Structure 1
Amino acid sequence: MTTPTNSQPNTPQANLCPLCGEENRCAITAGDDPASCWCQAPEIEFTEAMKAAVPSHLRLSACLCPACISALASRTE
């Protein structure tokens, strides 16, 4: 599992996680129905702490990947 690191992509890309730089598996950037995205699963909850973990200059540039969401969720429990 990839965990968030302090290294960030130099140029935000919509298909890459802004924390780890790995593919974020976003349905929207893949051209699929947004409702089919992994992040729409009922067990996924985006907290303010998770949002704050993303450097301000990368916020809203791309979705986090499942591994980073999982790692952040385990830190805030």
Structure 2
Amino acid sequence: MSDQQDSTPGKMLNALICPLCGERNACAYAEGKPHSECWCGHVSFPEGVFERIPAEKRGKSCICQQCLENYVREHEQLFCYNQLLFAKSDIKSRLLTRIEK
């Protein structure tokens, strides 16, 4: 990857900067190393993580590992919360069914 023009006049997108947080993304490929040496080749990216990147910055630089971890942590918490709500709803439904009988 190389520096690419941002949609904002006079600004360059640096391929070594995370488009979400603005910190270094530690992209080995953007540093000229083989893609196999990059941290991103050893992790999974959940569906939806790239939707956080503004459209004009997508595909121009990689997100950093911290932003990936933050996304995963937030969505795990949301998943657990939704599971809890579902369980509470299921228990309530079972109790109401017993009461109606």
Same topology, TM > 0.5:
yes
TM-fit CA distance, 1:67: 0.7
Q: Deviation per CA, 1:8-41: give whole Å up to 9, x if none.
A: xx64210100001111000111111110101111
Identical-pair percentage: 33
TM-fit CA distance, 1:61: 1.0
**TM-score, normalising length: structure 2:** 0.60
Root-mean-square deviation (Å) = 1.2
Asked whether the equivalents of residues 15 and 25 of structure 1 are also in contact (C-alpha less than 8 Å), the reply is yes
Matches within 5 A, 1:1-77: 11-41=12-42, 44-77=43-76
Distance 1:67 1:18 in 2: 12
**TM-score, normalising length: structure 1:** 0.77
Give structure 1 stretches of 5+ with no counterpart.
1-9
TM-fit CA distance, 1:48: 2.3
Give structure 2 stretches of 5+ with no counterpart.
1-10, 77-101
Asked whether the equivalents of residues 49 and 76 of structure 1 are also in contact (C-alpha less than 8 Å), the reply is no
Distance 1:63 1:27 in 2: 10
Asked whether the equivalents of residues 15 and 29 of structure 1 are also in contact (C-alpha less than 8 Å), the reply is yes
Moved over 4 A (4+): none
